[in-house]
C-alpha cells in the first residue's frame, strides 16, 4: 500500500485519518449477540445436535491462543477481501450490488475446500458467498471496513470457543460441539442476522464516514 500505491496502510480500512476502535467493537458486539441468538434458536429446534465437550484444563490455554490469533486471521481476510480486492474491483464499476456479489464470489472461492461442504455442496458455497456479499454491502454502506472487521472476528471466535462443528475446518476446544450441520438453517439464519445487523447499524440513515463508498484506488472516500 505504501510503496506500490503510495497510500497509508489504514486506507484499506477507512478514509478517516485513524481507525475508530469503537466502531470495530460495536460490530463485534452486535454480531456476537446475533450469532448467539441464532445458536440458541437452533438449540431449541434441535437440542440433540448440541453436545457439551467442555474441558477446563484444555479450554483455558487454547482460548488464550484463539483470542490472540483468530482476530488476526479474520482481520487479514477483511483487509484482503473488503479492503484490497473491493477497492481494486471498484475500478470496474460503481454498482454497490454488483460489487457485493463479485466480492462475495471471491470470498467463497477459497472456502470451497472446507470440509463443511460435505454437508451440502450447494448451500454451503451459497453461505460463504452470502457472508462475503453481506459484509461487502455493509462496508460500502458504512464507507469503512471497521464494522466488518469486528463482526467477522466475533463470528469466528464464537464458533471457535462456544459452538464448533465436528467437521469444521477450524478444530478447537469449544464449550459445545454441533454434531450435525443444518445447511438450510445456517443459510437462512445468516440472511436474517445480516439483515438485522444492517437495519440496526444504519437505522439512522447516513453512513459513518459520509455517503456510501465509491471504492477504487483514487479519491478521498473509502479506498
Q: Of 169, 182, 201, 173, whose CA–CA distance to 60 is shortest?
A: 173
Determine the 3-state secondary structure of 50 from DSSP: strand
Match 475446518 to its residue by C-alpha cell.
169
Task: Give the pLDDT confidence score for residue 99 in this predicted structure.
Answer: 96
For the stretch 104-132, pLDDT in tens is: 999 999 999 988 888 899 999 999 999 99
- The residues pairing with 178 across neighbouring beta strands, listed in sequence order, are 50, 165
Please, are residues 222 and 147 in contact by the beta-carbon 8 Å criterion? no
> Residues of the chain whose pLDDT is less than 70?
205-223
The span from the CA of 56 to the CA of 34, in Å, is 26
Asked if 220 contacts 15 with a C-beta cutoff of 8 angstroms, the reply is yes
> Comparing C-alpha atoms, which of 85, 205, 208, 193 is closest to residue 134?
193
Q: Where do the domains of the chain lie? A: 9-201
pLDDT at 168: 77
- pLDDT tens-digit map of 66-78: 999 999 999 999 9
| 35, β-bridge pairs | none
Q: What is residue 172's predicted lDDT score, i.e. its pLDDT? A: 82
H-helix segments, the chain: 21-45, 56-78, 86-89, 96-108, 123-142, 146-161, 183-201
Q: What is the pLDDT of residue 223?
A: 44
pLDDT at 205: 57
Find, among 219, 217, 221, the residue nearest to 87 by Cα.
217
pLDDT of residue 207: 53
pLDDT of residue 208: 52
d(CA 171, CA 179): 13
The closest of 28, 45, 38, 78 to 191, measured between CA atoms, is: 38
Amino acid at each position: 500500500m505504501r510503496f506500490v500505491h503510495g497510500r497509508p496502510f489504514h486506507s484499506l480500512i477507512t478514509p478517516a485519518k485513524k481507525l475508530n476502535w469503537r466502531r470495530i467493537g460495536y460490530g463485534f458486539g452486535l454480531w456476537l449477540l446475533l450469532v448467539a441468538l441464532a445458536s440458541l434458536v437452533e438449540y431449541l429446534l434441535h437440542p440433540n445436535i448440541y453436545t457439551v465437550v467442555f474441558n477446563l484444563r484444555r479450554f483455558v490455554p487454547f482460548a488464550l491462543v484463539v483470542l490472540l490469533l483468530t482476530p488476526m486471521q479474520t482481520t487479514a481476510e477483511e483487509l484482503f477481501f473488503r479492503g484490497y480486492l473491493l477497492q481494486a474491483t471498484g475500478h470496474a464499476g460503481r454498482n454497490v450490488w454488483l460489487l457485493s456479489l463479485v466480492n462475495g464470489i471471491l470470498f467463497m472461492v477459497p472456502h470451497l475446500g472446507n470440509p463443511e461442504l460435505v454437508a451440502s455442496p450447494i448451500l454451503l458455497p451459497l453461505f460463504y458467498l452470502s457472508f462475503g456479499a453481506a459484509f461487502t454491502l455493509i462496508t460500502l454502506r458504512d464507507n469503512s471496513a471497521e464494522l466488518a472487521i469486528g463482526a467477522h472476528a466475533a463470528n469466528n471466535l464464537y464458533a471457535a470457543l462456544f459452538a464448533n462443528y465436528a467437521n469444521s475446518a477450524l478444530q478447537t476446544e469449544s464449550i459445545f460441539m454441533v454434531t450435525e450441520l443444518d445447511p438450510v438453517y445456517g443459510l437462512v439464519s445468516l440472511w436474517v442476522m445480516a439483515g438485522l445487523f444492517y437495519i440496526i447499524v444504519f437505522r439512522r440513515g447516513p453512513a459513518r464516514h459520509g455517503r456510501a463508498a465509491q471504492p477504487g484506488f483514487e479519491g478521498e472516500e473509502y479506498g
